[in-house]
Amino acid sequence: IEERVCLWLDFACVDQSNPFPGVQMLPAIVACCEEFAYLPHEAYAHRAWCRTEQFFHWRLKCHDRKWRLNDDGQTVAREPPESHGDPATGDLYLEADRVALVNLTAFFADEDEDNLS
């Protein structure tokens, strides 16, 4: 049996000149992922779209495997899926994106759960 590994890279896989078709597919893309890994940098935890990717990983409950590359660049650390900031309060390059982001995440919100940190 041939094993395939497929990667989805947000910046490379979403057309940055016309991002909304790709952004609308974000829940489906995340739902197809068997693993969620990210490379932290100074602004990562504050960026709304980065928080949105992690939000979908948590809300869709596809799996509980979330990894962060450690500072040494060689090892990874496992994180709980719910560890992310609120996408609605994250930093955006274009403030006009906030409406699309809030509408997209509101569809998956659970009024009984308030685990956003």
pTM across the whole model: 0.79
DSSP states of 68-83: EE-TTSS-EEEE-TT-
Note the pLDDT of residue 1. 66
Tell me the CA end-to-end span of the chain in Å, nearest whole number: 42
CB 13 within 8 A of CB 49: no
Confidence band for 48, pLDDT divided at 50, 70 and 90: very high
Residue 91 DSSP symbol: B
CA 87 to chain CA centroid, Å, is: 9
Percent of the chain whose predicted confidence (pLDDT) is above 70: 90
Q: Give pLDDT tens digits for 49-80.
A: 889 988 888 888 777 788 888 888 889 999 88
For the segment 94-98, the average pLDDT, to the nearest whole number, is 89
